[in-house]
A and B are shown apart, each in its own frame.
Chain A
Amino acid sequence: MIRRLLTRLGASALVLWGAVTVSFTALHLTPGNVVDVLIGSSIVTPEVRAQIIADYGLDRPLPVQYVTYLGRVVRGDLGQSYQLHEPVVTAIGAQLGPSLQLAGSALLVAVTVSVTLAVLTARRSRWIQVVELVGVSIPTFWTAILLLTVFSFQLGWFPAVGADGFAGLVLPVIAVSIPITTLLTQMMRENLELVLEEPFVLTARSRGLSDLGVRLRHALRHVLVPAVTLLGWVIGLLVGAMVAVEQIFSRQGLGQLTLSAVTGKDLPVVMGVVLFTAVLYVVVNIVVDLLYLVIDPRLRSAA
């Protein structure tokens, strides 16, 4: 068990090291002088240029530069954004809150709704399949525009702009959670339908358990392993979804930050976001792995 955890952490460290290396390589493969690449489209004084050369060790051999960079990342220093005039860590930190709020709420809604739908509809109704198909097929940005047009511009129920308070959160959360909810519902419902065919379900019913009781107490747990896998995968994709949704709803957040950094060629921020995403992936995967052990005792003895 301990050994498995250690291997897992070791592998995670390797993944992160890979991500750091990739971002370092990207920096040096981008055409042009490294200093210019780091500065991007902003204009700086010669003193700042000298500072950059010193910070990144650009006057020294490449291996030394690599080690210097690695050392800074390990200390949590992701460099300076010369366009935003603040450290990358501060920039990401400032945008993290609204994004986490949106992503967290969307996941909560998705999990609650999909579990309810899957438990209630498995082997009972056919219409849910149509709903699932529609939900999975509609692109998030289109849902977002549609929601905005109907509920903000025409009905005026929700604000069209900003991230203030609960009202501003409703439409973005719906837009982000629709594809996740439908995907999860479809997967859990189909798995539940298979599980409900299993002999232990019949046995549980022969003890006098109600149909709903069997679904909640027995069958649901059996679909949690694939559901958690899918959810972990979805969390990784959320960073991408944020870009479109935050832009459409004019919300602050990591998506907006990424978008402006990419369009403004603010490479330190782009590299910072790449590393942040890698850390997120690794953490989510470790959590998913631990959840497997909580859900399925058979995996515990294998561990």
Chain B
Amino acid sequence: MSVPVVEVTDLRVSFPAVDAVRGVSFAVHPGECVAIVGESGSGKSVTARTLLGLTGEEATVTAGRLAVDGVDASTFNERQWRSIRGRRIGYVLQDALVSLDALRPVGKEIAEALRLPWRRARRRVVELLDEVGVPEPEVRARQYPHELSGGLRQRALIASAIACGPKLLIADEPTTALDVTVQAQILRLLAERKRGGQALLLISHDLAVVAELADRILVMKDGVVVEDGPAGQVLGAPEHPYTKTLLAAIPGPGSRSTRPGEVVIRATDLVKTFGRRTAVDGVSFELRAGQTLGVVGESGSGKTTTARLVLGLLKPDRGSVEVDRRQVQVVYQDPLSSFDPRFTVRRILDEALEVGGTPRRERGRRSVELLAQVGLDAGVLDRRPLKLSGGQRQRVAIARALAPRPRVIVCDEPVSALDVSIQAQVLDLLTGLQAELGVAYLFISHHLGVVHHVSDHVLVLKDGRAVESGDAHRIFTAPSDPYTRELLAAVPGGHYDQADPSRRALPGREQHDRLVRPPVG
């Protein structure tokens, strides 16, 4: 094979508090896609940033060999690194909404990488946007990130990373913040780049995403590569127990028992418009005690509006919701923004208990009890949200929701911000609590695997209308609406998609499918 685009042996990166990367070796050749998979804190992103010299001043980097395009980079100074960034190696971060400067038009962002006179740069920007499949590139170049959809933003971000024709494109969680269908489009775009000879380094916590593209997979944990091999081998016959856990943790259908209770929410023919846009258009559903109704759809489908109508935060234009709102609590996607950062966990729970009418002297005992219910010990009581991990935070959010002993909890994308293995833990916690306390969940998510895992019934929304609703198992195994089928087909890893022969061609597909689908029961 030709000269590798990057080559790293025995890479070690340490920060004052932690040894983030401890002896990682790999190489990426032209036209090859290498993926590094691991949870947050595994050192995968730090490894990627080392290739750009962007680990920060506090980091100490040592390597047996660190070469970019055959040139030794281990002694590069800042100026030399800058000549690598963008030119030899492009870098795409997770969420384009925050990875692009919100105050500048996307065209300017892309032009910045080019370092050309503005007139020539503008022509090139339009070409680049066209190349990554952005329609009406002249118009889009003048728009700001918040004016573009998630998919277009991500494409613009990719355009800015490939502007100078780098040999290697590093994509750090490029699709995590996106809806399934858009995710599939972005993965397809990356696959096209790869076919065009571009080397790819894909960083993800999600093995299912990586499976589509990677030729070689490295699994990282605590700064060490625990498994390294061709994609088919890693997905099909994993050796390390951690890889097996990661594969098993990918959410999929779970086993549900059905115990129909009384109706706790009855929504009839809800309509809600904002200006000329109809956000929710004639949606009806019922939620019974002790059950879970999953609401699925892409962003803009009316999921969140439906939740707000149920919570009474919005008034429907037509239709009605019958629900005892004193009995309803909420868990949001990002608990960090729904907590006061200055409050300790003790105060967060105390406040929720006070609202729920628990007498002052019992609150301390109840707080500890609530934490135990969500699998946390009393040690976290005096910590503030920032000092908790994502999973712990979401557990505290669930404890807070449980404090007033609600009968219904509205979960709005409760695990979308979490790593897969943590996701599985939180979902298991939610199901466990349901069995124990008999709470009903209105479970909103764009992630079909997650919804399938927890739901008894499913409501599929598209443009504010319910396109399909009914028993979860039936909808996931035999969807009748074409849109539902499209959603299912777009799930990466393809474990809902057995009809598409082109995907079968990928190495290790069959073994992977078998492993990704957790055993029933």
A residues within 8 Å of B by Cβ? Answer: 198-200, 202-211, 217-218, 221-222, 295-298, 301
Contact = CB atoms under 8 A, between A and B. Distances in A.
A206 B103 CA distance: 18
Q: Which of A199, A210, A218 has the most CB of B within 10 A?
A: A199
Given A199-B93, A200-B100, A206 B144 contact: no
Given A202-B93, A208-B87, A298-B144, 7 more contacts: A206-B85, A209-B82, A210-B78, A296-B103, A297-B144, A298-B102, A301-B147
Nearest to A217: B112
Contacts of A207: 85-86, 112-113, 160-161, 163
A199 B45 CA distance: 13
Contacts of B103: 218, 221-222, 295-298
Contact of A200 (B85, B102, B147, B161): B102
Contacts of B244: none
User: Lowest 4 A-B CB distances belong to which pairs?
Assistant: A206-B91, A207-B113, A208-B86, A208-B85
29 contacts: A199-B94, A202-B91, A203-B93, A203-B99, A203-B160, A205-B54, A205-B85, A206-B52, A206-B54, A206-B91, A207-B85, A207-B86, A207-B113, A207-B160, A207-B163, A208-B85, A208-B86, A208-B87, A208-B115, A209-B82, A209-B112, A210-B82, A211-B78, A218-B101, A218-B104, A297-B102, A297-B144, A298-B146, A301-B146
A200 B113 CA distance: 13
Given A204-B112, A206-B90, A295-B103, A199 B95 contact: yes
A192 to B, nearest CB: 14
B157 interface: yes
B505 interface: no
A199 B154 CA distance: 14
Contacts of A198: 98
B83 interface: yes
Contacts of A206: 52, 54, 85-86, 90-91, 161
A298 B144 CA distance: 8
Contacts of A204: 101, 112
Interface in B100-138: 100-104, 112-113, 115
Q: Which of A208, A211, A295, A298 has the most CB of B within 10 A?
A: A208
A200 B98 contact: yes
A200 B112 CA distance: 13
A209 B157 CA distance: 16
B113 A208 contact: yes
Interface in B33-81: 49, 52, 54, 78
A174 B112 CA distance: 39
Interface of B: 49, 52, 54, 78, 82-87, 90-91, 93-95, 98-104, 112-113, 115, 144, 146-147, 157, 160-161, 163
Contacts of B98: 198-200
Contacts of B113: 207-208
A210 B78 CA distance: 9
Contact of A203 (B78, B83, B91, B115): B91
Contacts of A217: 112
A199 B94 CA distance: 9
Contacts of A218: 101, 103-104
A198 B95 CA distance: 11
Contacts of B163: 207
A202 B161 CA distance: 12
Contacts of A210: 78, 82
A235 B49 CA distance: 44
Contacts of B54: 202, 205-206
Q: Which of B87, B90, B100, B112 has the most CB of A within 10 A?
A: B112
A208 B112 CA distance: 9
B147 to A, nearest CB: 7
A295 B91 CA distance: 27
Nearest to A124: B57
B57 to A, nearest CB: 9
Nearest to B103: A221
A204 B115 CA distance: 13
A211 B99 CA distance: 16
A211 B53 CA distance: 13
B128 to A, nearest CB: 13
A200 B87 contact: no
A298 B157 CA distance: 19
Nearest to A222: B103
Nearest to A209: B112
Q: Which of A205, A207, A221, A298 has the most CB of B within 10 A?
A: A207
Contacts of B146: 297-298, 301
Contacts of B86: 206-208
B365 to A, nearest CB: 38
A207 B99 CA distance: 12
A207 B116 CA distance: 13
A208 B78 CA distance: 10
B107 to A, nearest CB: 13
Contacts of B84: 208
Q: Which of B78, B99, B100 has the most CB of A within 10 A?
A: B99
Contacts of B87: 208
Nearest to A297: B144
A5 to B, nearest CB: 21
B231 to A, nearest CB: 26
